[in-house]
């Protein structure tokens, strides 16, 4: 089955999908995106993704002339047309096409593209058993990374540094030595049974998986602290972990080559992972293959 993409109202073969050269997403990264998980053919936490997208659009004064209901319908149509039970859907809204000029164009119309890619969530269950490595890099991004813009060059460079070092992720550290988040994930530590993550601010993305874990951990009676933590604290933590749409919960067992806690996935990460996958099963009916 050929891969299909959605481009401004039409579903077309991915290989033939095109956007104009003067799309402002391409010229200026004047665009927002969302990535949502599809498990067992069902969208996970979809309303939360829509809320974040709408909030970003409002902050950037981009008007997307499609209702949430119509957008959801089109997303589901594309998912069904691609035919993958387990997938990720990528949405991108740009300010539209206009003669290149930094200021907002007078009459551009926002453009919407969507793609769907098969995704193997079961690989995350395997990685959960071994844990993953992260490295740290300086956070070189602009100051509004709470907006999910397509201007991801600093994240791209950080992820590439991680790959080159044989690590799964790069944690982005501010000049104050605070660990903000990963290049495409949110960062967490556990110390003395307290689950700690950076508070929401303009210097992290409000991850949907982050919100899910906070909700589930609170529901399970865990003590939570949404507060900044330093790299030194992370290195001295009992456990560390990361979350994202494509990595719902992974234990971090080394940071810059230094073992965290026992150097193996810890009991709290295991407990939280069980909650996360339980929530995914409740929402979508997805079960890890035996």
Interaction site with ligand PLP (CB under 6 A): 35, 155, 181, 184-186, 205, 207-210, 243-245
Strands 186-191 and 169-173: unpaired
DSSP letters, 77-114, are: HHHHHHT-SSEEEEEEEES-B-SS-SSPPSS---EEEE
Least separation in angstroms between residue 13's CB and ligand PLP is 26
Helices (H), the chain: 24-28, 46-59, 68-82, 122-130, 153-164, 208-219, 231-235, 267-284
Least separation in angstroms between residue 20's CB and ligand PLP is 26
Least separation in angstroms between residue 29's CB and ligand PLP is 14
- Would you call 191 a catalytic residue per the annotation? no
CA–CA distance, 134 with 127 (Å, rounded to integer): 13
Ranked by CB distance to ligand PLP, the top (closest) residue is: 207
Minimum CB distance to ligand PLP smaller for 113 or for 208: 208
Least separation in angstroms between residue 221's CB and ligand PLP is 23
Least separation in angstroms between residue 109's CB and ligand PLP is 26
On the 0-12 / 13-18 / 19+ scale of CB atoms within 10 A, 125 is middle
Minimum CB distance to ligand PLP smaller for 97 or for 240: 240
Give 70's contacts (C-beta < 8 A, 6+ positions apart).
Answer: none
Helix, strand, coil percentages for the chain (3-state, nearest 5): 30, 30, 40
The single residue of 76, 148, 159, 191 carrying the catalytic annotation is 148
| 8 Rama sector, left if φ>0, alpha if ψ -120 to 50, beta otherwise | left
Minimum CB distance to ligand PLP smaller for 64 or for 204: 204
Minimum CB distance to ligand PLP smaller for 111 or for 185: 185
CA–CA distance, 274 with 185 (Å, rounded to integer): 19
Residues serving a catalytic function are: 148
């Amino acid at each position: 089955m050929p891969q299909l993409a959605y481009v401004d109202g039409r579903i077309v073969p991915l290989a033939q999908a095109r956007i104009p050269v003067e799309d402002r997403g391409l010229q200026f990264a004047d665009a927002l995106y969302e990535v949502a998980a599809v498990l067992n053919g069902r969208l996970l936490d979809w309303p939360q993704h829509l809320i974040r997208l709408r909030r970003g659009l409002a902050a950037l004064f981009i008007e997307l002339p499609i209702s949430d209901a119509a957008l959801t319908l089109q997303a589901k149509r594309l998912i069904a047309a691609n035919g993958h039970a387990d997938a990720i859907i990528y949405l991108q809204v740009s300010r539209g096409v206009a003669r290149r000029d930094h200021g907002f164009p007078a009459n551009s119309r926002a453009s919407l593209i969507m793609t769907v890619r098969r995704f193997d969530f079961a690989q995350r269950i395997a990685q959960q058993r071994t844990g993953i490595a992260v490295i740290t890099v300086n956070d070189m991004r602009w100051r509004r990374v709470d907006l999910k813009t397509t201007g991801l060059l600093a994240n791209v460079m950080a992820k590439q540094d991680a790959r080159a070092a044989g690590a799964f992720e790069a944690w982005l550290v501010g000049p104050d030595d605070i660990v903000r988040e990963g290049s495409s994930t949110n960062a967490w530590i556990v110390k003395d049974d307290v689950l700690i993550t950076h508070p929401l601010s303009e210097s992290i993305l409000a991850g949907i998986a982050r919100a899910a874990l906070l909700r589930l951990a609170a529901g399970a009676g865990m003590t939570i602290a949404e507060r900044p933590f330093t790299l030194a604290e992370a290195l001295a933590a009992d456990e560390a972990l990361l979350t994202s749409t494509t990595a719902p919960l992974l234990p971090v067992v080394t940071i810059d080559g230094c073992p965290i806690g026992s150097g193996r996935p810890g009991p709290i990460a295991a407990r939280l992972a069980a909650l996360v996958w339980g929530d995914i099963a409740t929402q979508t009916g997805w079960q890890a293959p035996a």
